[in-house]
Amino acid sequence: CLVMEKMHGSLHEVVEQMGPFALSLECLQKLSFQLLTSLSFLASNGVVHADIRPENVLLRESPWKKVNGRELPKSLSIKVKLADMGNSFRMKNSSAYHDDFELQTLYYRAPEVLFGMPFTTQIDMWSLGCLLVEAYIGRRLF
């Protein structure tokens, strides 16, 4: 039996419902800091997440409040957790993945993975950059 914290949806749902340019730069800074902290922890332990995308960034609290029966965005002091470690692996085992073009989700796939070249934990940083642009402009970068 696994017991986990109740989460309130994903970043993908927030971006989809709020539309382009709805997240403030302050909100994106907070989001970036939290995700960079997560990636720093993983990298310091030699782990590549390999599936950074909005669906795998879960909200710790609901971004919506009810006002007169309508759901409106809160002030968006966003708190998130990185989820879905199903594709993650240790860097010492990375050579087994160098020819695997299905390693990351296509829209967030780093160039070195795309070309089958050796890579490091930095492929997660590429994905994070794509995710942050998507969160801001409301659509995928590539």
Catalytically active residues are 51
- Phi and psi, residue 67, nearest 5°: -130, 115
Contacts of the segment 75-78: beta carbons below 8 A, 24+ positions apart? 76/23, 76/24, 76/27, 77/27, 77/30, 78/14, 78/23, 78/27, 78/30, 78/31, 78/34
Contact between 19 and 138 under an 8 Å Cβ cutoff? The reply is yes
